[in-house]
Amino acid sequence: MQTTQTPTMTAQLPQVHAPRNDGTALDLDWVASVQANTSAIERRAASLPGRRSVKKDYQAAWLCKAVSLMDLTTLSGDDSEGRVRRLCAKARQPVSQNLLEAIGMEGLTTGAVCVYHDMVETAVDALRGTNIPVAAVSTGFPAGLSPFHLRIQEIRDSVAAGAQEIDIVISRRHVLTGNWQALYDEMCEMRAACGDAHVKAILATGELGTLRNVARASLVCMMAGADFIKTSTGKEPVNATLPVTLTMIRAIRDYRDRTGVKVGYKPAGGISKAKDSLVYLSMIKDELGDRWLQPDLFRFGASSLLGDIERQLEHHVTGSYSANWRHAIG
């Protein structure tokens, strides 16, 4: 992340414009060749938080960029229509108007709103008139163990309800047993069920055992047509981490280099502090380049991150930190 540049911001979220990933034939030789040097990846990841620093106006601009790349999320058992509508209102106006006016970022919105399948229609209605897409978690989220035909039907129902993005969960057992053909076939069928909706493949990396498994699963899902690969459901004991992120975005880079196709990345779960979002953005900029700093190729899956970013922006404008309750999400 350069301290002499601020990210390009737009007043409204642009329409998704990256070409769809049509996938490729499953190349088992390519998959078998993928390795992950865990110690080297961990050393590189551990060095990242101290290698980049942005302050003052530059930091404020990068934090606004993080907001524009956020899938504002509620995935709780006690979700209600009222909560989802409040979340959508926050997505429309994620940072208080006086702060946005002070830093010259009026019109800022989040990248999307992410909800359970049965809340899609509510979210679509609450976001009517905006460019903010609704993402639905489908396929028996979070375990992904419901009967396969029901997972496919859930995708179709979410798309019919108006979801423009579908976050699907893969069957972890296919990765743990090395059954790459089964994972590929499953992903292809889920991709087909999404139709025009973009599909994010959730790997549940905290349950895959090794970084090599993460790298290989990332590659197979991209071969099968995933438009995004995503770390976690947010429900695992370990969710997004820097080593996992480095592994996955290098798989994205390898896939881009070999096929020419850009695939998006979404870290989710455990990213709750503004300073952490800056580390992730700097990693994306270094490893994939500026093109991935747009909402059609990068998203944060977040529920509490926005509150801390808003507090940091208020400190930037006023010089004082505000109480957490002043920036409630919903």
Asked if residue 237 has a cis previous peptide bond (ω within 30° of 0), the answer is no
Dihedral sign, CA of 228, 231, 235, 241? negative
Shortest CA distance to 268 belongs to which of 125, 114, 162?
Answer: 114
Show the tokens assigned to 139: 């396929």
Query: Is 167 one of the annotated active-site residues of the chain?
Result: yes
Helices marked H in the chain: 28-33, 38-47, 56-68, 81-92, 97-103, 120-126, 148-160, 172-176, 180-194, 211-223, 242-259, 274-287, 305-318
Catalytic residue, from 71, 167, 227, 296: name it: 167
> 300, 69 in Cβ contact below 8 A?
yes
User: 3-state secondary structure string, 9-41?
Assistant: CCCCCCCCCCCCCCCCCCCHHHHHHCCCCHHHH
Q: How far apart are CA 40 and CA 161, in angstroms?
A: 45
Catalytic residue, from 90, 200, 266, 285: name it: 266
Query: Is 200 one of the annotated active-site residues of the chain?
Result: no
User: 3-state secondary structure string, 207-256?
Assistant: HCCCHHHHHHHHHHHHHCCCCEEECCCCCCCCCCCHHHHHHHHHHHHHHH
> 131, 12 in Cβ contact below 8 A?
yes
Catalytic residue, from 65, 90, 230, 285: name it: 230
Query: Is 230 one of the annotated active-site residues of the chain?
Result: yes
Q: How far apart are CA 200 and CA 221, in angstroms?
A: 9
* Active-site residue set: 167, 230, 266
